[in-house]
Structure 1
Amino acid sequence: MSAPARLPRSRSGAILSFVGFSVAAGVLLTLGVTPAIALTGMAANNSISLFENLPSYLKIGSLPEKTTIYAHRTVDGVDTNVPLTSFYAEDRDVVGWDQVSQFAKDAAVDAEDPRYYEHGGVDPLGVVRAALSNVMGGSLQGASTITQQYVKNVQVVQASALATTEEQEAAYEEATKTSLDRKLKEMRLAIALEKETSKDDILLGYLNIALFGGRTYGIQSAAQHYYSVNASDLSLAQAASLIAIVNNPEKFRLDQPDDPDNGAANGYAANLERRNYVLDKMLEYGHVTQQEHDDAIATPITPAIYNPPSGCQAAGNAAFFCDYVLNVIQNDPVFGADAESRYAAFARGGLQVFTTLDLDMQDVAQGSIDAQIPKSMDGVDIASAATAVQAGSGRILAMAENKDYNQDADAAEQGANFSAINYNTDFDYGGSGGFQAASTYKAFTLIAWLQAGHSLYDTVNVSEKELDLSTFKACDQSFSGTKLFENDENERGSRSIMQNVANSINGGFMAMAQQLDQCSIRNAASSLLVHSADGSPLEDFPANVLGATSVSPLTMATAYAGIANNGLVCSPIAIDRIVNQDGTDAQLPTSTCTQGIAPDIAQAAQFALRGPMENGTAVASNPDDGIEHIAKTGTSDGNQQTWTTGASSKVGLSVLVGQATGDADLRKTYLDNGTAATARHRIFEPIIAALDERYGGDDFTAPNRIFLYGQQLDVPDVIGLSSSQAQSIIEGAGLTFGDGGSQPSEEDAGTVISQNPGGGGTTSRGGTVTVITSSGVPPAPTPTAAPEEVPVPDVTNKSSKDAIAQLTAAGFSSSNITFAYTQDNNPANACKVKSSNPKPQTPTSKSAAIVLTLNSPTGAAPTPACPTS
C-alpha cells in the first residue's frame, strides 16, 4: 500500500528526495522497465552498477497462520475431530487463487497498482510521479507497487519470526524505515521476485499477507471477521470495503462501531469514502459495469463481525485441558529451545493439533462435577477435579474441574468461581502443589507387600496403637519416637490383607509397613509414575504409608491405569498428532510405556483392590454395570481432601473433592445432595459408567495362589511355655503373636494353656497364633453329681450349621459348642467338620463342652464366619 503522509519537511529535504527518486527512476528507465531487461546487467553507469549490487533474492516462507486444537467427538456415530479453539499471533487463513472473489483481486489492482500487470515489479512512472509530488507537496509518497508492498510485508513477517525481541525490532525497523536505501533494496527485490514468480501468485500472496486491521491478516480472515463469509463469496461492495482497509488498516477497519470517525453512527464514513474510491477505480479500469458500480455505491456498509475462538478461554468445558496442552508444548524441548520460542512457533505455525480428549466423556465428567460441587461457596475454598487416562496408551480422555477457567492476572478478583489453576495437573503444567493422596496411596504398600513375598490372606493386628517408629526402616535410614495411628471405625484384632484393603484400615497398613522397608513402598509408587505434584522427591517416612504425599489426579489416574493394565504403565499424553502447515506430520512427545510392576504382582493387587468396589469403602462409586473395577478411596487428616481413584482394565479415573486452601471438615460440609465428603462417589460413578459404555472392560485375571495364601508355615506348639517364650518362638517362626488373655487354670500364672491354631498345624506366613495363659487361679471345682451322659453324634463332614443342629437335637447345649480350625484349601470343604472333641459315640455329659474342628482355607477363622444357624 502507499505510505501514509508524513509531517512536512523542508524544501531542501524534498529536493533531495526528488534527486534520490529521480536516480531510481533513471536507473529503471535505463534498465528498460521490465525484469527481463532490468536484470541483464548490461548497463554501464555507476547508478546502475550500484543498483545491480543490491540484494536480489527474497526467501518467501510460510506465512503465520492460526494453530487449531482439535478434540474427538462422536458425530452421527463416527469418531470425528472437531475444532476446540485456535491460537494465533496473526489471524490468517491462507487460501488459493480460486478461493478469492474476482472482485477482491480486481479491487486490489485497480486501487493499489493499476499498472500491475504491465510493469516488472517497479512502476517507473509511479516513481517519477511520487518524486514530483514530494518536491511540490513536501510529503513523501512511496510509489509502491503491489509487488513492492508484498516484498515489504514478507520482510515484516520474517522480522516477527526472529528469536529475540531485540532482533525483531531491529529487523522491523530495517524493513519499514523511510529511506532511499530501503526503497532501492525493495525495488531490487521486487524486480527479482517478478522474474521468478507469476503475477497471479504475487497478487495472491499479497492478498494473503496484507494486514486488515487489528490482528486480522489476509483476505480470507478479513472476509470472515468483517462479513462472516468466505473470501470466495464476497460481494462487490464487500470486496471494495475490505481492500479499502488495506490502505490504512487502523483507520478503515470495520470492527469498532463506537469510533466517532468510522463507526456505526456515521455509516463507517471513513471506510465508505475509501470504498467508493475503490469502486470508482474499478469502473475506470473496466472491471465493473456502471450498474454494478452504482448498486455497490448505494449499498450501506453493514459489518457482520465474527471473532474466531481464540485461546483456552474459548475452549468451553475443555479449557483446563487446553491449558494443559499449552503447558505440554511450552515444557517440551521437542517444540523449541525455550518456552517463549515454543509458544511462538505454536501460535504462528498454522498447526493442526489433534488431541486425545474425548469430548463426549468430557461432557459427562464436567456435568458430574457441576451437578455435585459448586464453583464457590462461603467458608470453604472448594475444589474438585476428575481425570480419565486410557490404560495401555496414556491418552488423557477427560479432564474437568469445578472452576471457570480464566488466565487473566486479576482472575481471582473477578470472583471465586474463576481460577487459572488446573487442579488435575502438576505445578509445572499449570496445576497446584497437589492434594494429599490419603488412602489412595495405600495401593503402593499393598504392592510392596506382595513384592516382598507376603500374601493377601496373611493376617495382621489392626488394633489402634502407639507405634514405636524405630521399628520402621527406610533403606539405611532409621526413625525415632512414637506415633499414634487411629482407625476410622475403631477396628481391632486380626484382619486379613484382603479385609485391610477393602475397609482401608489404617492400623492394618501400618502393621504391613512395619514388615517392609519404606523405600520399597516409595519405589512401588515411583514404578507406576507416581510423583509429588510440586516436583519434590517422594517421601519414605512411615506416615506416608497413609498418603501424606501431595499428588495430582492425573498422576493417580495414570498409576491405577497401570495397575489395571497388568503393571504396564504409560506416561500421560494429551496430543495424538500434529500436522504442519505444509501437511507433513510434526515431531511430538509420545507416551513411554514401561513394565512398572510384574504382571503377577499386578494381578494380585487387582484382586485385592476389587474389594473396596465390591464390599468395601468404594461401594458407592460402583456403577454395577457388569464390568470389574479396582478402586481405593482416600480421606486425608481432618477430612480435608477426599478421593475415589480406580480403573477398569481399559481406563483409569481419579476423582478429587477437596479444598485448594483451608482446613474445613468435608464430613461436616453440606451440599445439595449430601456431604462434600461423599460427593466423590456421586461424581465417580456416572463418569466410570460412561467410560465403561464407551471403552468397555475385561475381567481381571485371577491371581496365582501363592499370592492368596503365600507360603504355609508350621505352627509351633507353645503350650506349657511362658507368654514371653511363646511370643519369641511364634515370631521366630515367621508368625504373629496374639495375646488372647488369661483363664483360670491349675498351671502357674503366665503359662500358656491353649493356642489357636494348635501346634503341629500350618498357617500362612505372618499369620496370627493366639495364646491363652493361666491366671494362676484354679478353676471352680466340678460338681460331684454325675451328669447324664449320652453318646456324641458323629457329625464328621457335616456343615457347621447342620452339626450344631444334630448336637442340640441330642441334648447338648449350643452355648457349649465351640470351633477350632484346620487348614483345607479345597473351597468345597470350607466350614465342614473335620473332627470333634469328644470323639463320635463317646459317652458325654449334655452340659460338657464340645469342640468342633472346622476346615478353613487359612487355618484360621474365615470371614465371614461359618454359619451356626
Structure 2
Amino acid sequence: MAESDDTPIDRRFPRAGALAGFLGLSVTAGVLIAAMVTPVIAVAGVAAESGIQVFETMPEALAPDALAQTTDIYARNAAGEPVLLASVYEQNRKSVPWDAVSLFVKDAVVSTEDPRFFTHGGVDITSALRAAIGNAASGEVGSGASTISMQYVKNILMQRAEALRDKEEREAAYQEAVKTSMDRKLREMRLAIGLEKTLTKSQILLGYLNIAHFGGTVYGIQAAAEYYYGVNASELSLAQAASLVATVNEPNGLRIDDPDNIGDNKFRRDHDVLPAMLKQRAITQAQYDEAVATPIEPKITPPSTGCHAANPLGAGFFCDYVQRVIENEKVLADPSDAKYSTFTRGGYDIFTTLDLDLQASAVSAVDAYVPRSTEVLDLGSSLVTVEPGTGRILAMAQNKDFNADPDAASAGNTAVNYGADEAYGGSIGFQAGSTYKIFTLAEWLKDGRSLSDTVDGNARALNLSAFADSCQGSGTGTYSPKNDGAQRPGSMSVRTATAGSVNGAYFSMAQKLDQCEIRKTAEAFGLKRADGKQLSSYVSDVLGTNEVSPVRMASAFAAVANQGVYCSPIAIDRIVAPDGTEVPVPKSACSEAVAPEVAATMASALEAVMQGGTGSASNPRDGVPVFGKTGTTDSEKDTWFIGATTRLATAVWVGNVTGDVSLRRTQVGGIQADILRHRVWKEYMTAANGRFPGGALPDAVSRPVRG
C-alpha cells in the first residue's frame, strides 16, 4: 500500500459487520463474557448469570481525560520569533492530530493489536471466544481479547490513577486499573462498548496512539518518534513505525534506548508486527522484505528537560524564575485542587519576556570578567535588565550554571538565582550600598528641596536622636559613618554629593527628612527585602544596609527612567493552552512612585554620576543618554552598578556569595575586583544600546514642587 494513502486498513474489510457489532452489543457481549469467565466463576461457586448481571450493572460511560502533556517555555530572538528554552513534564507527551501520524503507525497498531478493530463494536467476539476457550483450559482469567478500544480504556484509567495527588490513593487506583481479574476485564469491555457509542473509530485509534506508553517517561507516538528516531510521527518509516508499535507490548522491556533491548524489539517487529501488516494487506511483500532487512538504528534525541536545558543560552536561572512565578502566583492552578499546579502536565506554551539577543550579550559580558569560581573568594555576579514602562525582564544572567541537583553541585553551578528574591529561587539578598541613596534623593526632591541646595559633606559622629522617624521613633546614641577614602569635602551641593556618592552629605540630607518617609519612597519604587521582610528605616539604611535583589533594584531605576512610574517586574508575556486558548498571566502593576518632575531631576543628578562621577567607568560613551549609581558595602563585600536609559534599566552586582573578602583589595583575572561591575555593565550596555538606543532624558526642574 502506498504511504500517501492515508486510509487505514479498514477499507479492505467489509463494513456490514460494524453495524451488527453495535446492535444489541451489550447483550451479546454479556453472554460471551459470561462464557469467557465461566471457568473462574464455576471454581468460585458463582453462577454464570451473576457474571452477566455484574456486566450489566457496571458503568458504561467513560470520557477521555485531558492527557498529561509537555509544557514548553520560550524566549524570543531579535526577529520576535519564539525559541524553545526548556520543556517540563511528568510525562513526555505531545498530543497530535490524525493527519500528523504516519499511516504505517496506524496500520501497524491495527494489524498487530486488533485486526477487526474497524468491524467490532468495542469487544471482538472472535477474540473473546478464543479467550474463553483458553480460560476454560487453564482455569484462570487470561489477559487476551483486549481490543484497541479496551486498551484505550485501560490507559485512560491508568492515567487517571497517576494523576491522583495522594500516594496511597494513586497506588490503589493504579493497581485496580492493571490487575488481572474478572471484574477488571468486565469493566474494560463495558467501558469500551460505551466508548464506541460516543467516539468514532479514528478518534479511538488516535486517542490510543496519543496515550500509549513507549517506555520510561515517553508517552504518545509523537514524543516516541522524536525521542527514539528524531523525527515527527508523520515522518516515521515502515521499519521505524513497526519498531515503536512493537514497544507498546512491553514498554520498558522493548524500549530501544537500551541497546540490550534492540534484539528483542527487532524480533517482535519482524515476527509479530510486520507479518501481521503483511497478512492484513497493509503492506506489500516488497515493503515487508525491505523493512525486515532494515536494522534498528535509533537516533536518541532527549527532550530539553527542565531548566538546566536552558543553560547553553545562559537562561537556566530565568527559566527557574518563570517556574517560581507560576507556582507563587498560582497561574496554572489545578481546578480540582488549588494547592497544585497543572504546569508539568498541562501541555502549555509559555512565552516569556526574555530577549535572547540581550541575554547573549549579558552572558558574554559576565563571562568575560567574572569567572565561575576563583581561589581567592566565593565570587558571585548577577545582571538583570528590566524594560521601563512595562516591567518586562529582558535579561537575567549570572556567573554560574543553573543546577537544581544537589548531588551534582560544584563551584561553577548553583540552584540559587542571585538576581531574584528568595521566594523566587533567589538568595536572602545583598546589601545595596550607595545605590540605595536614590531613595533619599527622591524624598529630598519630593520634600521640595533642590539639587543646588548645599549640605555638609564631612563624615562625623551622628546623634541618632536628631533623625526623625515617624514609624518607629528616633534612635539613641551615636553613629559614625565614614566617607570613602576619609574625604572631608566640607559644604557641597546635592548634585555634587550624588555624583561623588559622598556619605556625609547624604546623612546631612537624611537628617532633614523623615526616615520612615524615605522607606515608604523606596517601597513606592517597588523595593522589598529579598527575604520577604519589610524594609527597615534605620539611619544606616541611607547607605543601603537592607538586603535586596538585583531585579528589584533594576525595576526601581526603571521607574526613574519612566518619568517616576514604577512597573512591577514580569517574566511572562503569554501562556497558550493546548486547545489554543489564552491563560491569564500576571500583569505588571504600574503606579506613580514620584512625580515626573521629581524623576526628571533624579535622572539629572544620576546623569552626573556617569559624567565625571563614581560611575564614569561604566559609561558606554556611545551617544545614548544614560544615568546610574554605584554602590559599595562595608569592607567592599558587595559592589553594584545600576543604570538606565529611557529603554533599558540594568543592575549589575558582583560580590561575595559567602565570606567577607574585600573586592577592592582582591585581583580577579588581573583586574581589581571592585572594577568588575563597571566592565560588565559597560560592555553589556554598549551592545544593548545598539539594539535599544534610548532617547533624551527629560529636562530637570530647578526645584520640584513640594509633594
TM-score normalised by length of structure 1: 0.74
* Structure 1 position 275 matched with structure 2 position 277: no
The equivalent residue for 2:455 is 460
The equivalent residue for 1:676 is 673
Deviation of 1:326 (Å) = 0.8
Asked whether the equivalents of residues 373 and 379 of structure 2 are also in contact (C-alpha less than 8 Å), the reply is yes
1:480 pairs, out of 476, 479, 489, with 476
Matches within 5 A, 1:407-556: 407-412=404-409, 415-475=410-470, 477-489=473-485, 490-556=487-553
> Which piece of structure 1 moves more, 554-563 or 228-237?
228-237
Asked whether the equivalents of residues 253 and 271 of structure 1 are also in contact (C-alpha less than 8 Å), the reply is yes
Asked whether the equivalents of residues 36 and 195 of structure 1 are also in contact (C-alpha less than 8 Å), the reply is no
Amino acid paired to 2:252: E
CA distance in 2, matches of 1:67, 1:450: 48
The equivalent residue for 1:661 is 658
> Per the alignment, in what secondary structure is the counterpart of residue 348 of structure 1?
coil
CA distance in 1, matches of 2:417, 2:575: 23
1:140-171 deviation digits (Å, cap 9, x = unpaired): 22321000000111122222233433433333
Amino acid paired to 1:486: K
1:339-394 deviation digits (Å, cap 9, x = unpaired): 99777511111100000000000000010000001100113000000000000000
Deviation of 1:32 (Å) = 10
CA distance in 2, matches of 1:452, 1:586: 44
> Per the alignment, in what secondary structure is the counterpart of residue 582 of structure 2?
coil
> Per the alignment, in what secondary structure is the counterpart of residue 583 of structure 1?
coil
Asked whether the equivalents of residues 63 and 195 of structure 2 are also in contact (C-alpha less than 8 Å), the reply is no
> Which piece of structure 1 moves more, 558-567 or 118-127?
118-127
Change (3 A) 1:95 1:320: same
CA distance in 1, matches of 2:215, 2:154: 17
Asked whether the equivalents of residues 330 and 338 of structure 1 are also in contact (C-alpha less than 8 Å), the reply is no
Q: Would you say how many aligned residue pairs link Structure 1 and Structure 2?
A: 667
Asked whether the equivalents of residues 332 and 341 of structure 2 are also in contact (C-alpha less than 8 Å), the reply is no
* Structure 1 position 642 matched with structure 2 position 639: yes
The equivalent residue for 1:353 is 350
CA distance in 1, matches of 2:702, 2:497: 19
Amino acid paired to 2:98: W
> Which piece of structure 1 moves more, 463-472 or 208-217?
463-472
1:304-332 deviation digits (Å, cap 9, x = unpaired): 11111111010121111001001111111
1:64 pairs, out of 68, 72, 78, with 68
Deviation of 1:695 (Å) = 2.2
1:303 pairs, out of 298, 302, 314, with 298
Change (3 A) 1:253 1:463: same
Asked whether the equivalents of residues 462 and 506 of structure 1 are also in contact (C-alpha less than 8 Å), the reply is yes
CA distance in 2, matches of 1:602, 1:531: 20
Amino acid paired to 2:572: I
* Structure 1 position 571 matched with structure 2 position 568: yes
Amino acid paired to 1:455: S
> Per the alignment, in what secondary structure is the counterpart of residue 70 of structure 1?
strand
* Structure 1 position 145 matched with structure 2 position 135: no
The equivalent residue for 1:132 is 133
Show structure 1 runs of 5+ residues with no match: 1-30, 263-267, 712-869
The equivalent residue for 1:175 is 177
Asked whether the equivalents of residues 469 and 481 of structure 1 are also in contact (C-alpha less than 8 Å), the reply is yes
Deviation of 1:579 (Å) = 0.2
The equivalent residue for 2:21 is 34
CA distance in 1, matches of 2:340, 2:549: 25
> Which piece of structure 1 moves more, 354-363 or 223-232?
223-232
CA distance in 1, matches of 2:336, 2:601: 43
2:186 pairs, out of 184, 201, 207, with 184
Show structure 2 runs of 5+ residues with no match: 1-17, 32-48
CA distance in 2, matches of 1:287, 1:73: 45
2:694 pairs, out of 690, 697, 701, with 697
1:6-30 deviation digits (Å, cap 9, x = unpaired): xxxxxxxxxxxxxxxxxxxxxxxxx
CA distance in 2, matches of 1:229, 1:626: 49
Which has more helix, going by share of residues? 2
* Structure 1 position 289 matched with structure 2 position 302: no
Change (3 A) 1:244 1:63: same
Deviation of 1:137 (Å) = 4.2
Pick 1 or 2: higher relative contact order, CA cutoff 8 A, min separation 6: 2
* Structure 1 position 201 matched with structure 2 position 222: no
CA distance in 2, matches of 1:441, 1:284: 79
Asked whether the equivalents of residues 473 and 518 of structure 1 are also in contact (C-alpha less than 8 Å), the reply is yes
CA distance in 1, matches of 2:619, 2:609: 9
* Structure 1 position 55 matched with structure 2 position 59: yes
Asked whether the equivalents of residues 106 and 282 of structure 1 are also in contact (C-alpha less than 8 Å), the reply is yes
1:568-605 deviation digits (Å, cap 9, x = unpaired): 11110000000001000012111111111121211111
The equivalent residue for 1:321 is 318
The equivalent residue for 2:578 is 581
> Per the alignment, in what secondary structure is the counterpart of residue 480 of structure 2?
strand
Amino acid paired to 2:427: S
The equivalent residue for 2:625 is 628
> Which piece of structure 1 moves more, 247-256 or 619-628?
619-628
* Structure 1 position 217 matched with structure 2 position 199: no
TM-score normalised by length of structure 2: 0.91
Amino acid paired to 1:658: G
Amino acid paired to 2:81: T
The equivalent residue for 1:111 is 112
Q: Cα RMSD over matched residues?
A: 2.2
> Per the alignment, in what secondary structure is the counterpart of residue 649 of structure 2?
strand
Asked whether the equivalents of residues 446 and 704 of structure 2 are also in contact (C-alpha less than 8 Å), the reply is no
CA distance in 2, matches of 1:186, 1:358: 50
Amino acid paired to 2:66: S
CA distance in 2, matches of 1:649, 1:580: 35
1:70-119 deviation digits (Å, cap 9, x = unpaired): 10102xxx221111111111111212222222111111111111121221
2:256 pairs, out of 249, 254, 257, with 254
CA distance in 1, matches of 2:54, 2:543: 80
Deviation of 1:39 (Å) = 5.0
Asked whether the equivalents of residues 532 and 549 of structure 1 are also in contact (C-alpha less than 8 Å), the reply is yes
The equivalent residue for 2:4 is none
Asked whether the equivalents of residues 418 and 426 of structure 2 are also in contact (C-alpha less than 8 Å), the reply is yes
Deviation of 1:334 (Å) = 3.3
Asked whether the equivalents of residues 334 and 340 of structure 2 are also in contact (C-alpha less than 8 Å), the reply is no
CA distance in 1, matches of 2:300, 2:194: 39
Change (3 A) 1:53 1:340: closer
> Which piece of structure 1 moves more, 429-438 or 489-498?
489-498
CA distance in 1, matches of 2:557, 2:19: 77
* Structure 1 position 122 matched with structure 2 position 123: yes
Change (3 A) 1:275 1:137: farther
Deviation of 1:672 (Å) = 2.1
CA distance in 2, matches of 1:607, 1:299: 73
